[in-house]
Amino acid sequence: MLEVRDPEDGSLVGRTAVASVQDAQLAVTMAETASPLPRAERSSVLERAAERVDERAAELAETIAREGIKTIREARREVGRCATTLRLAASEARNVAGEELPFDAISGHQNRIGGWTRVPLGVVVAITPFNDPLNLVAHKLAPAVAAGNPVIVKPHEQTPLSALTLAQAFVDAGLPPGWLQVLPARGPDVGEALVRDPRVRMVSFTGGHDVAERIAAAAGVKRLAMELGSNCATIVCADADLDLAVPAIAGGAFSAAGQNCLHVQRVLIARDVYDELASRFTAAAGQVRLGPKLDEDTDMGPLVGEPAAARVEARLHEAATAGARLLAGGERAGTRMVPTIVEAVARTTRLYREEVFGPVTILEPFDTLAEAIDLANSVDLGLQHAVFTRSLDDALTAVHGLRAGGVMVNDSTDFRVDSMPFGGSGVGREGVRFAVDQMTQPKLICIARSTGGVADR
């Protein structure tokens, strides 16, 4: 059995069976032989699953909070987003379509008619992380079902209970056998067996670059979708509304204890407002309330485990050795770390160049917007960047100059709604409509009409 323990105090949250490589092979067989579902039935199942999520919202929120790193208030928001994701997929299920091809626009082919439609790829494998254990699962399985693909989910071994509860919502909603299977497992063996199986037509993965490279090497000829984290930069121009910028940046820096691919890791600040923003941001960090995750007054929970917390602490020590100055925080106790702000961080350090995945934010001044854009782009992990400015020209300059999957203007990098295209640090895009597109492929239909003899060639 797999024991699921709360990273806050090590208490037992629950137990679940552990899948084997043989289970993985059987799961692919079941998925491959699942009966097809028409669009209307897929849509109805997704709508009913969303209703089940709403009905079990309190239970799901407590499960997310206890097995993972989110506070109960953060967990409730995730449950609400999950229901939204399912309803977006229900709408997309009815709209998976192609278009007519104008064969008669090409000389000699006026007697042909046809077009293309979109058809399911086949079995989809989804490998999901710990930080959004419900909604990131939904972002993979809901588009797969909407597109007509059976899906096998391998959740993170520390947070399998949310995925299993969501799967039960689909069963209760009437999803037929074989269409959705969840395989909790320890280590890489089950995931590797799923990825290598030639019957699997697509792998959708959210996680780190090292694992992504192993998946790509093992997958063979199949479609890949990968969201691989980031090192997001927020630019604050001299004319920015600091009353807007400071709370947005603080929220993006310390939500989920910074364990978020949209975490505000670097804040690039115009020199004229550097001192004021640094002072106000440091004060905001000091107002973040740490405490038990199930306490309604708690703003920030723990890191996912002591090794993760020790890794963040080591990055801070390395940066301090290279000359970084601590403005706030820096203390760690077990899996908890105080919201931390640093400046004068050497650009060669891992804290500056890699994704920190913890509640640490770097401040850095700039003199020109061009310099700020170059600094943001200097780290090749561009998922989303942001800019605060009152100037339309500067906003558009940043939008066009920043290399990232998304640019937020007058908002934190940590902004996402579940309908938008999401990605930029890996391969492909999430967001329900865009994931459905990747989980289908065009199928050509061409009809040569008789002309009283041989059809035109």
pLDDT in tens, 81-93: 999 999 999 999 9
Predicted TM-score (pTM) of the model is: 0.94
pLDDT digits (tens, 9 = 90+) for 273-282: 999 999 999 9
- Using the predicted structure, report yes or no on whether residue 139 has a pLDDT greater than 70: yes
Return the CA Rg of the chain.
24
Could you give the domains of the chain? 2-228+426-445 (3.40.605.10), 232-409 (3.40.309.10)
- Using the predicted structure, report yes or no on whether residue 53 has a pLDDT greater than 60: yes
- Given this model, what pLDDT does residue 320 score? 97
Q: For residue 280, what are the CA distances in angstroms to 308, 324, 330?
A: 28, 20, 18
Q: What percent of the chain has pLDDT over 70?
A: 98
- Using the predicted structure, report yes or no on whether residue 451 has a pLDDT greater than 70: no
- Given this model, what pLDDT does residue 156 score? 97
Q: For residue 139, what are the CA distances in angstroms to 69, 96, 123, 418, 449?
A: 19, 17, 16, 8, 43
What's the whole-number average pLDDT of the chain?
Answer: 96
- Using the predicted structure, report yes or no on whether residue 454 has a pLDDT greater than 60: no
Residue 457's pLDDT band (cuts 50, 70, 90): low
Q: Which of 67, 78, 227, 430 is catalytic?
A: 227
- Given this model, what pLDDT does residue 237 score? 98
- Using the predicted structure, report yes or no on whether residue 284 has a pLDDT greater than 70: yes
- Using the predicted structure, report yes or no on whether residue 126 has a pLDDT greater than 80: yes
pLDDT digits (tens, 9 = 90+) for 222-267: 999 999 989 999 999 999 999 999 999 999 999 999 999 999 999 9
The arithmetic mean of pLDDT across residues 88-110, rounded, is: 93
The arithmetic mean of pLDDT across residues 205-223, rounded, is: 95
- Using the predicted structure, report yes or no on whether residue 421 has a pLDDT greater than 90: yes
- Using the predicted structure, report yes or no on whether residue 334 has a pLDDT greater than 60: yes
Q: Which of 261, 313, 364, 430 is catalytic?
A: 261
Token representation of residue 427: 């391969």
- Given this model, what pLDDT does residue 366 score? 98
User: Is 232 known to be catalytic?
Assistant: no
User: Is 261 known to be catalytic?
Assistant: yes
pLDDT digits (tens, 9 = 90+) for 357-377: 999 999 999 999 999 999 999
- Using the predicted structure, report yes or no on whether residue 453 has a pLDDT greater than 50: no
Q: What percent of the chain has pLDDT over 90?
A: 96
